[in-house]
Amino acid sequence: MRNVSRRAFCKLAGVTGGGLVLGFHLPANALGKAARLSGEYEFNAYIQIRPDNTIVLAAQNPEVGQGVKTSMPMIVAEELDADWQTVEVIQSAIDAQRYGRQFAGGSRSIPTRWDALREAGARARQVLLEAAAEKWGVASGECTTRDSHVLHAASGRSLSYGALAQAASQRPLPKTVSLKPRSEYCLLGTRVSGVDNPAIVSGKPLFGVDQVVAGMQYAVYHKCPAIGGTVKSANLDVIRQLPGVSAAFVMDARGDREDLQAGIAIVANSTWAAFSARKQLQVDWDESSAASDSWRAAKQRAAELAQITGQQVIDKGDTTGALNAATHRIDAYYSYPYVAHAPMEPQNCTAHVHNGRCELWAPTQMPQVAIKKVANLLDIDESRVTLHQLRMGGGFGRRLMSDFVCEAAAISERVGTPVKLQWSREDDMAHDFYRVGGFHALSAGLDKAGKLLAWRDHYITFSPDGETTTRGGNQHTKLFPHSKAKNTNLQLSLIQSAIPTGWWRAPISCAVAFANQCFIHELAVAARRDHGEFLLELLAAEDHHSDLVSFEQSRAVGVVKEVLHRANWQHGLAADHFQGLAFYYSHAGYFAHVAEVSVTDNKGLRVHKVTVVGDVGPIVNLSGAENQVEGSVIDGFSTAMGLSLSIENGRVQERNYHQYPLLRMRHAPEVDVHFIQSDNPPTGLGEPALPPTAPAIANAIFAATGERLRSMPFTEAGYSLA
């Protein structure tokens, strides 16, 4: 624990004004179970209390639409007993020494900061309460706090935090504090509008594309359509003569694919001039080391590999013998394609390299990683790189990479002025780090009572080197229902690929859940059992292999029971409406969905409603939580119905939204969201509600039509949106 000066706070957090400034440095043992499990041991939270009773809270993690710029300060404000109407939230500086890891990914912001943020607010509240008690000459135990005031009920006196700020700033921060039980929360669990919402709806500059710096030029960076290709030659003399163009040059690759790839930079006095000049480029590419992948060829190879035995990952019991002896044996082959992140705001970054320093204005999910990569690229110390964190217009995992930041820095270094690099939508589609495709050859055996005897999953994915799985292409070994079958076998086969992959919303789970949960429905149908009944029985069954258990059984059962109740499972439906169920455990969150659909004779699909029940511990911001679940369902539905990349000769064929049809508003279903709140450590909500969506819809389609969909997108089977 340490105090920082007002001057230091203003420098670090960018706020001004007097009053109490508290800097909190919490050691590992103060972070609690969730943080220790994640390895997050460093954290700083800064609070400023101004004389006018304004509370300024610094949000230290990047805001990418997941709501942490609102929810994380809410946690501090709850324990501080601050009046949220007088709270101002700022984006903190990027500073690993003072703030620890600052990032947005894996739904980890809340679970890794929960205890630390609560303790920060509670410590500030305690010194304010003690300052008031001393001023009144009463015991601190006689005082209470509410709405940024300290109250003394016996005398009817009260003082604002602002009035106490100076006196409180002279007191040592307490070493230990009591935290509120959930029953006493006043702010947490309520609906709070996002702190940036007024600026967003009024068009204030918040995002990377809005950034303007004095003396700034505008740049585009053109790379080979075949991933990894380099430049042989180009008509740069012609480009340099075009209106508004100040520079055009080739840059060689430096580092790996997450750093700087080879390409041609065009710098101009406007984005329009740079984009227009790019259309005149004539490039002779060297594709000798470029990707040559074909999705069609990969699908054919996967089908061949599915017929042979793969590498053994899990082998418990005698799966082959159990499958042969089963009363019912079910075999199925599932697949899903590569998909792009396709955020609304394409990649961009503003950079100024000068005097041995680099200043960045970046919409990045990993600001500290970006600083490291740029420092390495420019061969300067990290202390000479400053990054201003900007709000992002979507990320979904794409902005965990720093390639666009490195490109901006390299171009600015070359021209010597501030440069704003802007990718086009076509760039974003062609040079993504994609969600990897995959294949599952599944087999299961049931006994005569419909109980699960054996489970086999031969998982076929991609590899950059023929030995390791590509990023996002691995599979969790502790995956339901691996522990529920006495005989469990997981195999792995690899297809070598040069297509760059990354983390896509709910990595791994976003795709594996489709195969896993649809296949469980197949088992229920084979056993002639109600799916809800079968799933609940399977979740509650004995775990035969303790090393394969990944979740709390009671919480899994709880969300499934609740969603069946909330959705009025298989009762009261219109004659042409049908329901499908799915459950998944992802990113420490338990979610169950029931999708209600209708299907026309010509396969026109309408998803009328998706009922969702989740258990992620205590909800911080109910508005933000509902928003994340609704967005996850829309994303999951969109992916199931229409999102797919066709890759040929190392090139992604889809270039824009007309070829990559995201779900439109008129097709969006009603999303009915419910939470089972508990005192379990909270988890994030950006990802765990997505995985059950596609299988719930696919299972509902089977109920409606009898057709089993084992491949995404569903349009491949002739379905369209009605």
**Does the structure show a pLDDT above 70 at 616?**
yes
Predicted pLDDT at 98: 76
Each residue's pLDDT tens digit, 102-117? 999 999 999 999 998 9
Alpha-carbon torsion (454, 468, 644, 614), positive or negative = positive
Each residue's pLDDT tens digit, 222-264? 999 999 999 999 999 999 999 999 999 999 999 999 999 999 9
**Does the structure show a pLDDT above 60 at 386?**
yes
**Does the structure show a pLDDT above 80 at 363?**
yes
Is the distance from CB of 244 to CB of 268 less than 8 angstroms? yes
Bond prior to 481 in cis (omega within 30° of 0)? yes
Q: How confident is the model at residue 10 (pLDDT cuts 50, 70, 90)?
A: very low
The alpha-helical segments, DSSP class H, found in 169-306 are 197-201, 236-240, 271-278, 295-305
pTM for the full predicted model: 0.93
Angle at 325 between CA 321 and CA 326, to 5 degrees: 115
Q: How confident is the model at residue 13 (pLDDT cuts 50, 70, 90)?
A: very low
Each residue's pLDDT tens digit, 275-287? 999 999 999 999 9
Q: For the chain, where do the domains classified as CATH 3.30.365.10 start and end?
A: 6-195, 215-289+343-430, 295-339+434-721
Q: How confident is the model at residue 95 (pLDDT cuts 50, 70, 90)?
A: confident
- Torsion, CA 704, CA 580, CA 549, CA 329, rounded to 10: -10
- Helix 509-526 and helix 622-642, axial crossing angle in degrees, nearest 10: 70
> Which residues have a Cβ under 8 Å from the Cβ of 492 and sit 6 or more positions away?
310, 311, 313, 458, 459, 460, 461, 469, 475
What amino acid occupies position 484?
A: K
Predicted pLDDT at 96: 85
Predicted pLDDT at 100: 84
Predicted pLDDT at 11: 40
Q: Which fold has domain 295-339+434-721?
A: Aldehyde Oxidoreductase; domain 4 (3.30.365)
- Per-chain mean pLDDT for the chain: 92
CATH for 6-195 (3.40.50.720, 3.30.365.10, 3.40.50.2300, 3.40.630.30): 3.30.365.10
The alpha-helical segments, DSSP class H, found in 169-242 are 197-201, 236-240
Please report how many Cα atoms fall inside a 13 Å half-sphere around the Cα of residue 706, on the Cβ side. Answer: 1
**Does the structure show a pLDDT above 50 at 509?**
yes
703 vs 707: CA distance, rounded Å: 8
**Does the structure show a pLDDT above 70 at 410?**
yes
The alpha-helical segments, DSSP class H, found in 14-95 are 32-38, 68-80
**Does the structure show a pLDDT above 90 at 5?**
no
Percent of the chain predicted with pLDDT > 70? 94
Each residue's pLDDT tens digit, 168-213? 888 888 889 999 999 999 999 999 999 999 999 999 999 999 999 9
Q: What percentage of the chain's residues is helix, strand, coil (to nearest 5)? A: 35, 25, 40
Please report how many Cα atoms fall inside a 13 Å half-sphere around the Cα of residue 260, on the Cβ side. Answer: 22
**Does the structure show a pLDDT above 80 at 609?**
yes
Q: How confident is the model at residue 9 (pLDDT cuts 50, 70, 90)?
A: very low
CA 285 to chain centre: 35
Is the distance from CB of 41 to CB of 100 less than 8 angstroms? yes
**Does the structure show a pLDDT above 50 at 480?**
yes
Predicted pLDDT at 46: 72
Predicted pLDDT at 19: 61
Largest Cα–Cα distance in the chain?
Answer: 84
**Does the structure show a pLDDT above 50 at 36?**
no
CA 166 to chain centre: 41
> Which residues have a Cβ under 8 Å from the Cβ of 396 and sit 6 or more positions away?
341, 343, 504, 505, 635
Give the architecture-level CATH label for domain 215-289+343-430: 2-Layer Sandwich (3.30)
Predicted pLDDT at 45: 54
257 vs 183: CA distance, rounded Å: 49
